[in-house]
Structure 1
Amino acid sequence: MASHLRLAIKKSASPLARSAVQARFASSAAKQPTLKERLAELIPPTLERVKAVRAEHGKKSFGPVIVDQLYGGMRGLPALIWEGSVLDPDEGIRFRGKTIPEIQAALPKAPGGSEPLPEGLFWLLVTGEIPTAEQVAGLSAEWAARAAIPEFVEELIDRCPPTLHPMSQFSLAVTALNHDSAFAKAYAQGINKKEYWGPTFEDSMDLIAKLPTIAGRIYRNVYGKGKLPAIDLQKDYSHNLANLLGFGENHAFVELMRLYLTIHSDHEGGNVSAHTGKLVGSALSDPFISYSAALNGLAGPLHGLANQEVLVWLTKMQAKIGTDATDEAVKEYVWATLKGGQVVPGYGHAVLRKTDPRYIAQREFALKHLPDDKLFKLVAQVYKLVPDILLEAGKAKNPWPNVDAHSGVLLTHYGLDQMGYYTVLFGVSRAFGVTAQLIWDRALGAPLERPKSYSTEAIDKMFKNKN
């Protein structure tokens, strides 16, 4: 039994609680392999497959690289291996080959719940396999057992002024977890590189497990929500996160967290946070340092703040045209936004050429749980009207909404209306995809990333010399 779980059992409030936690873990572990055990089984054949793919395709070209791609932020440039997910322009994100509707149907649910548990999504990202309910229950128990953060990290968070942005506090606390990094310790002791994946896995499990505790402490400190409750060893990851935020008694909000964490967990490797985590990890930085760097990228306005911008735009519209505005009033407001040189936030996507399936998943949640919410009705109205307006205006190759067009409205409905905090929730979720890839990078011996760069003068000379 994992040392973290033994400690949790030891610290449980009563013999009955200790027995329940132990039985929960034993029932799942005795019948089926744990995530780490299954990963150990998968690594050797995966290494052989990678060798075979490189032997067969290693010298083949993906196509030409044009200068505009270098100046254009490497948009669309094939340059990374990312195992967990691939973004299909017509179908949206696929997690290990499975669409969002497929994972919603296949992944285990909590008792009495209908949304997929993100524990199952992490298992899928790491192994490529759908876990059983018992395996997910074991993962829930292990994360709950690992959730405590060191006392000095608690003090570090508590000493931050409430005016310090929640994402800055989040990154600071995650960096400080490096103090107890299993990978950093093993590397200092001279671990064989073939074994790097083991302590990377342990750090990744610790990181994911501790994020709700960190996020909850920051939320309560910044917004004056009182003392942090204890982790419930009997509950799943999303329930504990919701409870730490003060919403644990609201079943619908807990369900929203399960959906939110699942659909935001991964989105290919080229987005800023994922790419940053992979890049820093390639220097053999441990998962805590690597993910802290990823969080700093996620905090940027062009990456993690989009849902806030959507919510601001919607509330300004609502204030101007009213809560039950006609379609014509909404159209006029949208056209005024475009004619003012602004974009309609939440619409359009760099890759997708259809409505983001993550948007659809959230829309279905809203139709089920909050169909009469005034702000949701406005979102639905915008969804009906904006695509045709954008096509008419010639403003977007893809006029359809992305995930950010919906998430803020759902959070606001349940009372989590502190928009400056939304990126922290995004950060909790995105750790799943980044750490899954870090584990596989170490298992497959991924090298230090070192792409070639050119100056403008060098490019100019290069092509002039060819002519």
Structure 2
Amino acid sequence: MDLDFKYDIFDKLALKIEINNKIETSLYDKYKVKRGLRNENGTGVLVGLTKVGSVNGYKVLDGKKVSMEGILDYRGMNVKEVVTGFQKDKRHGFEETSYLLLFGKLPNREELQEFKIILSNFRQVPDAFIEDMILKFPSNDIMNKLQRSILASYSIDPNPDDISVKALMEQSLKLIARFPLFVAYGYQAKAHYYDKKSLYLHAAQQNLDTAENILYLIRPDNKFTEKEAELLDLSLVLHSEHGGGNNSTFATHVVSSSGTDTYSAISAAVGCLKGPKHGGANLKVYEMITNIRENVCNWNNREALKDYLYKILRKEAFDGKGLIYGMGHAIYTLSDPRAVLLKEKALELAKEKNRIAEFDLYKNIEELTKEIFKEQRDGKDICANVDLYSGFVYEMLNIPRELYTPLFATARISGWCAHRIEQIISETRIIRPAYENVAIEQDYTELNNRF
């Protein structure tokens, strides 16, 4: 088939698809559809119960949302207390946070050491897996490579369809341990085969924890500072869980409710996180900041910066979507506790790396956007979300942009696995909501009579 002719047909077919699949907005109101599973006041539709995590950013009084400081709990424990606890002892916290999410309680010293040893022993895959699955079929998108590595893990599991509690636990621990490998090796393959860079394949180190191994695996010289590892560990802790209703975690519940295997459920969650409206948001922040740097000469000139932010909101600048990425959240109103904690540590690293001017740019964007919304959006409360500062943190850590979202997944795997186990143990019914059919009835037409 002639290539130009083919694409001419594709254009026509695409137009038919667009015309015949568009549903009028008024019909959603007519049938009282909870679009995006959200109530009219913006709160989420209650579809399940969980003990794993909770997200609170407002109160509902007399049917209206009232703003409040954000609270994030892991197993009923305020994440701020968890972070303060391990940082006070100058420890990394991702492993004990994963333990908390999976087992429902914080580990004692012996349990934590035992847990770290288990993860360390699982932090390896057969050489043939790396060569055949990752190196022979590299991907330009690490999230895509991560999904494929997860699905391929089904083949090296002797009982992949076993959904007993013991099997679920072992599968979860192996995925938590191996995500850094999948991400790091996927990135190295991409850098080599797509970007024509040298190929570095380092073996994970048993004496290093998750954050340390990530930095060790992705850097050619394996070197990192304690401050860098501390900040990456904090980022992993803060991204590891965010309630049952976020897009990727809800997908984990939905897919798990069918009784399918762990690898299918977790790969579906990764597919959700890949989207720019979910985990890919930190990349949009990075792109927006780059655009602002190019168009605002003096970052300290708050008026010039505020004017440009207005242009972004008016769809006159950046990507034309009218969004200031990294600002605003579906639940948090006055503050996102993850952003607050990450901002504090980001400032410490910015001082160490002599990048205070850039930190101030992010801080000014946060403050000025709040001012703009007070002025132009009927006093609406808006706060910085975790994506505003996570991209800056990764940039200071010299982490390639392609790894921003995969690192989110490397953290969230703990929460996904905890929710999957909870779903299978607690709720045996398959999740199946309803859709109203609004198609116009048609009579069948014989082929010769179709025009």
Secondary structure of the corresponding residue to residue 307 of structure 1:
helix
Q: Which residue pairs with 1:386 in the alignment?
A: 369
Does 1:118 find its partner at 2:97?
no
Q: Which residue pairs with 2:408 in the alignment?
A: 426
- Pairing partner for 1:94 from 73, 85, 96: 73
Q: Which residue pairs with 2:308 in the alignment?
A: 333
Q: Which residue pairs with 1:291 in the alignment?
A: 266
Distance in 2 between residues matched to 1:72 and 1:243, nearest whole Å:
44
Q: Which residue pairs with 1:170 in the alignment?
A: 146
- Pairing partner for 1:267 from 217, 220, 242: 242
Q: Is the 8 A contact 2:281 2:387 kept in 1?
A: yes
- Pairing partner for 1:105 from 80, 84, 89: 84
- Let me know the Cα RMSD of the aligned residues: 2.4
Q: Which residue pairs with 1:77 in the alignment?
A: 45
Structure 1 segment 303-314 matched on structure 2, within 5 A: 303-314=278-289
Secondary structure of the corresponding residue to residue 268 of structure 1:
coil
Q: More helix per residue: 1 or 2?
A: 1
1:150 alignment partner AA: P
Provide the TM-score with structure 1 as the length reference. Answer: 0.76
Distance in 1 between residues matched to 2:398 and 2:198, nearest whole Å:
13
Q: Is the 8 A contact 1:283 1:448 kept in 2?
A: yes
1:118 CA displacement: 0.9
Q: 1:153 to 1:69 in 2, by over 3 A?
A: farther
Q: Percent identity?
A: 24
Structure 1 segment 7-156 matched on structure 2, within 5 A: 70-75=33-38, 76-89=44-57, 90=68, 91-107=70-86, 113=90, 116-154=92-130, 155-156=132-133
Structure 1 residues 57-113: Cα deviation after superposition (integer angstroms, max 9, x where no partner): xxxxxxxxx97873511121100223211111133321112222111123488x8x4
1:457 CA displacement: 6.8
1:361 alignment partner AA: L
Q: Which residue pairs with 1:404 in the alignment?
A: 387
Secondary structure of the corresponding residue to residue 72 of structure 2:
strand
Q: Which residue pairs with 2:329 in the alignment?
A: 349
Does 1:158 find its partner at 2:135?
yes
1:185 CA displacement: 5.0
Give the stretch that moved more between structures: 438-447 or 380-389: 438-447
Distance in 2 between residues matched to 1:69 and 1:311, nearest whole Å:
38
- Pairing partner for 2:347 from 347, 367, 372: 367
Q: Is the 8 A contact 1:119 1:237 kept in 2?
A: yes
Q: 1:310 to 1:108 in 2, by over 3 A?
A: closer
Structure 1 residues 111-132: Cα deviation after superposition (integer angstroms, max 9, x where no partner): 8x45x41111111112332222
Secondary structure of the corresponding residue to residue 229 of structure 2:
helix
Provide the TM-score with structure 2 as the length reference. Answer: 0.79
1:360 CA displacement: 0.7
1:225 CA displacement: 5.3
Q: Is the 8 A contact 1:182 1:202 kept in 2?
A: no
Q: Which runs of 5+ in 1 are unaligned?
A: 1-65, 188-195, 459-467
1:283 alignment partner AA: S
Q: Which runs of 5+ in 2 are unaligned?
A: 1-28, 39-43, 58-67, 192-196, 316-320, 441-451
Distance in 2 between residues matched to 1:259 and 1:182, nearest whole Å:
34
2:387 alignment partner AA: D
Distance in 2 between residues matched to 1:129 and 1:360, nearest whole Å:
25
Distance in 2 between residues matched to 1:364 and 1:177, nearest whole Å:
38
Q: Which residue pairs with 2:359 in the alignment?
A: 376
1:248 CA displacement: 4.4
Q: Is the 8 A contact 1:108 1:136 kept in 2?
A: no
Q: Which residue pairs with 1:439 in the alignment?
A: 421
Structure 1 residues 412-452: Cα deviation after superposition (integer angstroms, max 9, x where no partner): 11211x32321111111111101012222333353322223
Distance in 1 between residues matched to 2:259 and 2:118, nearest whole Å:
25
Q: Which residue pairs with 2:17 in the alignment?
A: none
Q: Is the 8 A contact 1:219 1:225 kept in 2?
A: no
